[in-house]
């Protein structure tokens, strides 16, 4: 965790204060691509997920949660804490522009990186399907994001974060609280891996 934090700090400490003053354009979004990649396909080594494929409304919502401290404030959520720092000085309009830009990017769908029991994951996923849909494409009306475009390792990480209270613990985080309750069926890291393996098959 300390190594990841140090990497983030090194990459952004020189440029962040300047970027926060600028209008968000593709040219000024280099600081996003340093971690998430030029095609936003993610980087498992520093815990940066693939962003391509996510909807504008969901990206914007998460950025605002990071900015407000609703997400990323838990001391054990190192990457979430770094995201809080990255967006803390950005305006709501800049966050909207970032979200719009992300939806215009394209990258290859992520390949499987974990070995788990997809059939066991299918059984657990039925609870998830109520909001995210049987094909994990999401449902904006329910505030449920698309899952099928995410890295499997990131799905595992976030399910564990909900399970352990690193995410969704804020009372004011309505969707986070709902997700925390719904993910109660995931009782172990193995369960999380099984669910992710099943979602990977839906891509």
Would you give the DSSP letter of residue 50?
Answer: P
Closest CA relative to residue 166, chosen from 43, 81, 57: 81
Residue 8 lies in a domain: yes
Are 65 and 71 spatial neighbours (Cβ–Cβ below 8 Å)?
yes
Residue 35, annotated ligand binder?
Answer: yes
| Confidence (pLDDT) at 65 | 98
Residue 63 structure tokens = 């950025």
Residue 109 lies in a domain: no
Q: What is the percentage of the chain residues whose pLDDT exceeds 90?
A: 80
43 three-state secondary structure: strand
Residue 1, annotated ligand binder?
Answer: no
User: 43-92 pLDDT, tens per residue?
Assistant: 999 999 999 999 999 999 999 999 999 999 999 999 999 999 999 999 99
Residue 74, annotated ligand binder?
Answer: no
The CATH number covering residue 52 comes to 1.10.760.10
Domain count, the chain: 2
| Confidence (pLDDT) at 30 | 80
Residue 115, annotated ligand binder?
Answer: no
Judgement on whether residues 124 and 99 belong to the same structural domain of the protein: no
CA–CA distance, 149 with 26 (Å, rounded to integer): 22
CA–CA distance, 71 with 62 (Å, rounded to integer): 8
Residue 36, annotated ligand binder?
Answer: yes
- What does the pLDDT average to over 101-130? 94
Residue 161, annotated ligand binder?
Answer: no
> Is the pLDDT confidence value at 195 over 60?
yes
State which residues form the domain around 30.
2-103
């Amino acid at each position: 965790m300390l190594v990841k934090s140090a990497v983030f700090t090194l990459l952004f400490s020189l440029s962040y204060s300047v970027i926060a003053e600028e209008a968000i354009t593709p040219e000024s979004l280099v600081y996003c691509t340093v971690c998430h990649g030029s095609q936003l396909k993610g980087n498992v080594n520093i815990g940066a997920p693939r962003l391509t494929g996510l909807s504008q409304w969901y990206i914007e919502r998460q950025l605002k949660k990071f900015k407000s401290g609703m997400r990323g404030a838990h001391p054990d959520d190192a990457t979430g804490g770094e995201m809080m720092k990255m967006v803390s000085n950005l305006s709501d309009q800049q966050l909207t522009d970032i979200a719009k830009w992300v939806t215009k990017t394209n990258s290859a769908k992520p390949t499987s990186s974990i070995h788990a029991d997809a059939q066991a994951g299918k059984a657990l996923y039925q609870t998830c399907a109520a909001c995210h849909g049987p094909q994990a494409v999401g449902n904006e009306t329910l505030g449920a994001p698309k899952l099928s475009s995410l890295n499997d390792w990131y799905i595992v990480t976030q399910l564990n974060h909900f399970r352990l209270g690193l995410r969704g613990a804020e009372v004011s985080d309505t969707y986070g609280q709902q997700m925390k309750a719904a993910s109660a069926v995931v009782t172990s890291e193995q369960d999380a891996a099984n669910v992710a393996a099943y979602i990977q098959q839906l891509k």
